[in-house]
Structure 1
């Protein structure tokens, strides 16, 4: 099995990158699995949705070459892992732009002329690891965790049919919790494919139940 770990942070020495590496180490030590870390900041990914993206969305032109490459990376993966710092209670702008451009009409979903939507990423297991400075009480008190899961887990990935297997916030990183987050990330990686198989089996069982 192969996991593509997309990390969005401009500093390769940051806790975000360390957590991504810990997750990757956990995946690789859990079995005959491989990982690729896509550092989209270092790679210089351009996040702004542009004119060529618009024509591709309308199915009037081929995808831009940089987007086709990103989709090919995801197509080679059994799991997609997003590791990111929480900026203003959401993705960093570059990662949001990566989603805007890469999760395109005709690849992530189909939009028929009558408005019917088809979900095309049902095979893909997704693991989300957000890293925040506030503590868990702040997230719970203001509903930030629920709001982010609504917009990301449901609004993006369920829209495309992908299975969100892990949805974790590693918080209070400016306090004493940071070292423990590396341990948590490694454990999440160790369990990633086992948990994905369990979730996939449960979903299949539900789908087979008579209405």
Structure 2
């Protein structure tokens, strides 16, 4: 099986990329599965939701080549893994723009006879958020619960993609950063466990 690991961080030496790389190694180490890393920052993905994106969202026009390429990359995947830094209690703008532009009506979801049709039930999702605040802050303010509601439910459940894993890794975690790398390796080894 094949996993698509998507990340968006402009610094190639960032902890986010190291965690994503360890996760990919965990997937490959099983000896049965493959992984592809989509580095939106390095690839220069344009997150701007333009007039043509708006028209496409409303069922007019055709998808641009960059959006089609991302949908095809997702269509080849048996699992989607997002590894991302927490910016303002959510995705980085580029990753959010990727969702906005790629997860569109007619591909990720649709409406038939006034009913929502969720089209991504075949795509299990694993989320790994990386934050700099302390656990107390996330708990006290309810930020992680808000993120899960917005991302896990608001995006992926809306499209029918089951969220299998939703992790929050923080710089204050015991054994940081090595503990994050070990956890990423373990997560990689389990990405397809529920499908085997």
Tell whether the structures are fold-level matches, with TM greater than 0.5. yes
Please say if residues 26 and 187 of structure 1, whose CA atoms lie closer than 8 Å, have aligned partners that are also in contact: yes
Kindly report structure 1 stretches of 4+ aligned residues shifted beyond 4 Å. Answer: 173-176
1:49 maps to which residue?
49
Please say if residues 121 and 160 of structure 1, whose CA atoms lie closer than 8 Å, have aligned partners that are also in contact: yes
C-alpha distance in 2 between matches for 1:88 and 1:71: 27
Flag structure 1 segments of 5+ consecutive residues without an equivalent.
199-211
1:132 maps to which residue?
131
Q: Is 2:108 aligned against 1:108?
A: yes
> TM-score scaled to structure 1, two decimals?
0.89
Flag structure 2 segments of 5+ consecutive residues without an equivalent.
none
Q: Secondary structure at the match of 2:4?
A: strand
C-alpha distance in 2 between matches for 1:103 and 1:125: 15
C-alpha distance in 2 between matches for 1:37 and 1:128: 14
Please say if residues 79 and 126 of structure 1, whose CA atoms lie closer than 8 Å, have aligned partners that are also in contact: yes
C-alpha distance in 2 between matches for 1:111 and 1:173: 44
Shift of the alpha carbon at 1:141? Answer: 1.2
C-alpha distance in 1 between matches for 2:53 and 2:172: 36
| Number of equivalent positions | 196
> TM-score scaled to structure 2, two decimals?
0.96
Cα displacement string for residues 64-98 of structure 1 (whole angstroms, at most 9, x for unaligned residues): 11100000000000000100000010000000000
Q: Secondary structure at the match of 2:42?
A: coil
2:72 maps to which residue?
72
2:160 maps to which residue?
161
Q: Is 2:190 aligned against 1:191?
A: yes
